[in-house]
Amino acid sequence: MMPALHGQPREDEVEFSAIRARGAGGQNVNKVSNAVHLRYDIAASSLPDAVKARLLALGDARISGDGVVVIKAQDHRSLERNKADAIERLRELIEAAARVAKPRRATRPTRISQRRRVEGKLQRGQLKALRGKTGGHAGD
């Protein structure tokens, strides 16, 4: 058994169940269970601990309170395509959690950029001052 890569869930860790799809589709919807529920237990997975922690901290609606990812795929008419769609969506979720944001380093604006900002504000203020009422009174 190979360990899971950062964005690759292992096949034996993913649990599928076929369900009936909802919505339009004619008789096919009523007769065939071609939608898929994918379940992926984060804690029991072979993902690195850091990725597990970030995945649980995502706050995604597809992650239940007990740390199980539940994805429902029903866009396609075939069970195989819905399975592939569910796995792809799980892979994208794991890849999003595997990406570590580069820490931002605080920097100071340069003196010239500060000057440009103030000059722009002054020009904008002068333009707005021209929109005001003129000195004459209309009622006189």
Distances (CA, A) of 119 to 36, 42, 116, 124, 140: 60, 54, 5, 9, 39
Distances (CA, A) of 15 to 9, 12, 65, 111, 113: 11, 8, 18, 59, 56
Region of poorest pLDDT, from 9-18, 26-35, 68-77: 26-35
Q: Where are the domains of the chain?
A: 11-98
Phi first, then psi: give them for residue 16, nearest 5 degrees.
-110, 145
pTM of the predicted model as reported, rounded to 2 decimal places: 0.62
3-state per-residue secondary structure call for 66-93: CCEEEEEECCCCCHHHHHHHHHHHHHHH
Q: Which CATH architecture has domain 11-98?
A: 2-Layer Sandwich (3.30)
Structure tokens at 94: 């794991």
What confidence score (pLDDT) does residue 122 get? 97
The amino acid present at 12, given as its one-letter code, is: D
The tens digit of pLDDT for each residue in 61-81 reads 888 888 888 888 888 878 889
Provide CB contacts within 8 A for 18, sequence distance 6+: 33, 34, 35, 36, 79
